[in-house]
Amino acid sequence: MPQIFVENLEKRFRVAERKAGLWGAFRGLVHRHYRDVEALHGVSFSIEPGELVGYIGPNGAGKSTTIKILSGILVPSGGHCEVNGLVPWKNRVLHVARIGVVFGQRTQLWWDLPVIESFELLRDIYRVAPVDFTRTADELIELLELSPLLDVPVRQLSLGQRMRCDLAASLIHQPDILFLDEPTIGLDAVAKLAMRSFVQRQNKERGMTVLLTTHDMDDIEALCTRLLLINHGTLLMDGTVKDLRSDERRVLVDFESVPQLNAEHAAFVREQDGNRVTFRVTGRVPEFIADITAHYRVRDLMVEHPPIEETVAELYRKGGR
């Protein structure tokens, strides 16, 4: 039995609609229009213990809805799901004691409390034994470098500091699954790196299962062994980051002067900016480079993967209905 099991998950929201303007407001008083929004459209996947899975998709694709169902906040309209053998919304209290959740968009710490008091309150809420709490908290404080922040009220923390504290707070009760909803949103480069290495360590050393949603493809490349791609409430892809990579390469060439390319070579051009030409080549890259350097005077040359963002954007578009 996988640790997280999702089958045909569906979620519809009823949204009250009102026509714009004063007349619309009056009509809304008498007669309300509802529109069904289909957030999830039969999503199925399963995750084994110890996996680190990226869950990506454009805004409004249904990522957060899935996380909210898996963490017991929302009840789905259809389908089935089990986490650690429990149905999240039916056994909510038992279930949430075994998961950690971080929402990048909102803190779960107590705004007016010093960080350490938030941790202590969580200790009491999750009924963590004092010995275990001391050990876990000390470890988290060291790994995430929280000691200078412990006496600061949460409202005075910067976003990066707050995220580190939120991350620690989600692990006080030593959950075996961690859900991260856009954990790197708004973070600077240093904070992002710290976040990633911490999550990776928890996954590698403690075998914690992690499901992570993000818009940052670097998060995915750095962390995830597996990728779930969703759009319009449907799963479009379930595979590895490698699967996203095609054989296509970008060959960037700086010529000595503006080159007069022959028709054969011109067919490979993706874009040209003066002396610099980017070619799009699939397979046989060494031969292509040899050919170019034989025909033209080349100053510099570079081979790249196409940016993963472009591949993903392409997939999002394909998935559009």
Tell me which residue of 217, 182, 213 sits closest to 105, measured CA to CA.
Answer: 182
Is residue 25 near other proteins by the rule CB under 8 A? no
Give min distance, CB of 141 to other proteins, in A: 17
Is residue 87 near other proteins by the rule CB under 8 A? no
Binders of other proteins in range 59-78 (CB under 8 A): 65, 68, 71-75
- Minimum CB distance to other proteins smaller for 40 or for 220: 40
Query: From CA 317, how far away is CA 319, in angstroms rounded?
Result: 5
Is residue 94 near other proteins by the rule CB under 8 A? yes
Is residue 89 near other proteins by the rule CB under 8 A? yes
Token digits for 320? Answer: 């559009």
Q: Which stretch binds other proteins (CB under 8 A): 111-119, 222-230, 284-292, 304-312?
A: 111-119
Query: From CA 262, how far away is CA 292, in angstroms rounded?
Result: 10
E strand or H helix that includes residue 152: none
Give min distance, CB of 276 to other proteins, in A: 49
Q: Which of 86, 116, 121, 236 binds other proteins (CB under 8 A)?
A: 121
Binders of other proteins in range 161-180 (CB under 8 A): 173-174, 176
Q: How is 280-301 classified by DSSP, letter by letter? A: EEES-HHHHHHHHHHHS-EEEE
Is residue 29 near other proteins by the rule CB under 8 A? no
Residues in contact with other proteins, counted by CB under 8 A, come to a total of 37
Could you give the 3-state DSSP secondary structure of residue 196? Answer: helix
Beta carbons of 220 and 56 less than 8 angstroms apart = yes
Beta carbons of 105 and 185 less than 8 angstroms apart = yes
Q: Which stretch binds other proteins (CB under 8 A): 100-108, 143-151, 219-227, 313-321?
A: 100-108
Is residue 38 near other proteins by the rule CB under 8 A? no
Provide the 10 A C-beta neighbour count for residue 123: 19
Strands 209-213 and 52-56: parallel
> CA angle, corner 180, sides to 214 and 43, nearest 5?
75
- Minimum CB distance to other proteins smaller for 73 or for 185: 73
Give min distance, CB of 105 to other proteins, in A: 11
Query: From CA 173, how far away is CA 178, in angstroms rounded?
Result: 11
Give me the residues that bind other proteins (CB under 8 A), please.
Answer: 13-14, 65, 68, 71-75, 89, 92-94, 96-98, 101, 103, 106, 108, 110, 112-113, 117, 120-121, 124-129, 132, 136, 173-174, 176
